[in-house]
Amino acid sequence: MQTDDITLFTYLKKHAALYKLLLSDHIQVDFRYQIARAIENLFLSEYEYELEEGTLIDPKWLYIYRAHGVAGLLIRWIEEEFPTSPQYMSTQIVELMLLSTEVFHVKRERT
């Protein structure tokens, strides 16, 4: 996937006033959830991940996880007044969609 294929950030920035209003406290509709569901549906209809054979991951949960992550990123970008360019954000999305980590650690407080 090429970052030029992702036009969503340009669209959101072009219609910034509308999306700021939709994310404001004045709107009763759960717009944040609707964004995540729309992205989830887009993932299910338009994309397919290639998972390693024998993986324990159910693709359904992977799509839901990624969709809500992308929605959170979009919402934060709007809330922070579009601090970076749409092109930069498109690159971040592509990189995040391809990112995997072999290990993660639980941080523990030292007593």
- pLDDT, tens only, 31-49: 878 888 888 888 888 888 8
Share of the chain above pLDDT 70, in %: 91
What is the predicted pLDDT for the residue at 34?
85
Helix (H) or strand (E) holding 16: helix 16-22
Q: How many CA atoms lie within 13 A of 17 on its CB side?
A: 0
Average pLDDT over residues 62-84: 91
pLDDT at 91: 93
Q: Using N-to-C axis directions, what is the helix angle for 59-79 and 86-98, rounded to 10°?
A: 160
Q: Quick: pLDDT tens for 46-61.
A: 888 888 889 898 888 8
Structure tokens that stand for 106 in this block:
């639980």
